[in-house]
């Protein structure tokens, strides 16, 4: 069978055996008349607060996320302007610990008109002048430090995409605050070694997930008045709008997503072929850990993961991620480095990479990443899916290995069941 795998803004194709198991999200219908529904929900939820607020802050995801900022943000801004033309509106990019979004990237992210008409700022988790600190911690020991604009605004709106997340359970909701606009000490604690190592800190899990619970506590000690969250289908069309209370609306979105994203499978595979979901999530090798982690949930111990990821930005500015892995001889050595030296930037993805590599070999398929960089990250390397498959066969004893294909990568949640 021929299967297309998202890769950058296009796709790669592979001819696979007819008994290959393909895990795909269920079809989800795109919303018709999106603008009308969005405005209706805004009016229903918080029209009074918008009308009374002099200073409104809108938090948006950065350009590593597939959130349709250039679709949702113009509708939201136009609605605010009509309701409260005197309001001072600022837009803060929730970068967490990612690099700042450049001016050119901002224009691509929000559109040229908005980039010219509004004050758009990058959050910097290490900039003391940007932060406000409270003399408080969550029950998980996370210090309450957040961008000062959160407390200087009368009304805070967070935009976000609800999708599976490799250790927070799901993205969206509270995540726009922590890590989005939190201080680096808060992010380090929330993403710390013990938190990542917790068996409940996995994709598709909220209950008993310490990272999720910590994010919620942190949000409640800071401020998030309203969320505008969406779900997307495999064509990146908006399938759900969830507007309102940051906890309730987010949970409503999660329940909606689960209907389409939780996909059952019966037996782990010897070889798993997957992606990082295509652009923009596959723009760097750091983010590509997400697709690897999804594949790791369906590969047998000692199996092989093949992941196609364009990585047009290479490391994407995550040099510390490379430093943690480079020169190590095995995954245990990576874990020990983190344990001894934390907190370190990007240690969470290095820790998850080590967990994946303890279970399976990983072959990266990319035309833009060098073989040297892949080897430095303890990855095997191929430039095509066909070559990667041939390489995978050499690592296995099976003449007819079981194969699972996950074209959408981290956008689904495989669930093992007796089918």
Q: Is 266 exposed, middle or buried (0-12, 13-18, 19+ CB in 10 A)?
A: exposed
| Angle of CA points 268, 273, 278, to nearest 5° | 130
* 98 a catalytic residue: yes
| Distance separating alpha carbons of residues 348 and 286, to the nearest angstrom | 11
Main-chain phi, psi angles of 268, to 5 degrees: -65, 155
Per the listing, tokens 């908005």 go with 114
Plot region of 21 (φ>0 → left; ψ -120 to 50 → alpha; else → beta): beta
* 256 a catalytic residue: no
Tell me how far apart the 2 most distant CA atoms of the chain are, in Å.
70
| Candidates 98, 123, 191, 318; catalytic one | 98
E strand or H helix at 37: helix 34-52
| Candidates 123, 165, 212, 250; catalytic one | 165
Q: Is 19 exposed, middle or buried (0-12, 13-18, 19+ CB in 10 A)?
A: exposed
| Distance separating alpha carbons of residues 395 and 382, to the nearest angstrom | 14
Instruction: Give the Å distances, CA to CA, from 228 to 15, 134, 389.
Output: 40, 27, 42
Handedness of CA 74, 236, 309, 290 (dihedral sign): positive
| Cα Rg of the chain (Å, integer) | 21
Plot region of 52 (φ>0 → left; ψ -120 to 50 → alpha; else → beta): alpha
Main-chain phi, psi angles of 138, to 5 degrees: -75, 175
β 143-147/131-137 pair status: antiparallel
Main-chain phi, psi angles of 93, to 5 degrees: -80, 120
* Six-digit token string for 297: 């949930």
Residues with a known catalytic role: 98, 165
């Amino acid at each position: 069978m021929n299967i297309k795998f998202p890769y950058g803004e296009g796709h790669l194709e592979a001819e696979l055996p007819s008994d290959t198991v393909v895990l795909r999200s269920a079809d989800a219908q795109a919303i018709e008349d999106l603008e009308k529904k969005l405005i209706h929900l805004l009016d229903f939820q918080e029209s009074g607060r918008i009308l009374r607020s002099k200073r409104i802050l809108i938090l948006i995801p950065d350009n590593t996320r597939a959130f349709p900022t250039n679709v949702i943000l113009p509708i939201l801004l136009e609605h605010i302007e009509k309701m409260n033309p005197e309001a001072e509106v600022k837009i803060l990019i929730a970068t967490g610990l990612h690099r700042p979004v450049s001016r050119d990237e901002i224009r691509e992210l929000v559109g040229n008109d908005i980039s010219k008409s509004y004050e758009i700022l990058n959050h910097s988790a290490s900039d003391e002048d940007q932060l406000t600190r409270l003399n408080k911690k969550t029950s998980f020991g996370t210090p309450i430090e957040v961008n000062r604009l959160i407390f200087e605004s009368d009304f805070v709106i967070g935009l976000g995409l609800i999708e599976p997340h490799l250790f927070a359970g799901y993205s969206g909701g509270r995540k726009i605050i922590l890590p989005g606009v939190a201080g680096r000490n808060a992010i380090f604690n929330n993403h710390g070694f013990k938190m990542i190592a917790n068996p409940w800190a996995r994709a598709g899990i909220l209950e008993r997930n310490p990272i999720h619970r910590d994010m919620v506590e942190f949000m409640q000690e800071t401020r998030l008045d309203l969320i505008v969250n969406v779900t997307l289908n495999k064509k990146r069309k908006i399938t759900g709008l969830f507007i309102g209370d940051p906890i309730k609306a987010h949970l409503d979105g999660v329940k909606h997503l689960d209907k389409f994203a939780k996909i059952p499978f019966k037996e782990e595979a010897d070889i798993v072929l997957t992606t990082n979901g295509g652009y923009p999530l596959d723009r760097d090798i750091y983010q590509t850990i997400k697709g690897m982690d999804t594949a790791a949930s369906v590969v047998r111990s000692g199996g092989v993961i093949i992941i196609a990821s364009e990585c047009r930005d290479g490391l994407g500015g995550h040099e510390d991620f490379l430093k943690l892995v480079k020169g190590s001889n095995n995954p245990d050595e990576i874990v020990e480095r983190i344990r001894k030296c934390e907190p370190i930037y990007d240690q969470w993805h290095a820790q998850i990479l080590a967990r994946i590599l303890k279970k399976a070999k990983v072959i990266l398929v990319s035309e833009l990443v060098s073989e040297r960089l892949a080897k430095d990250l303890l990855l095997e390397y191929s430039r095509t899916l066909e070559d990667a498959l041939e390489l995978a066969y050499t690592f296995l004893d099976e003449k007819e290995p079981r194969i699972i294909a996950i074209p959408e990568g981290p956008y689904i949640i495989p669930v093992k069941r007796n089918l």
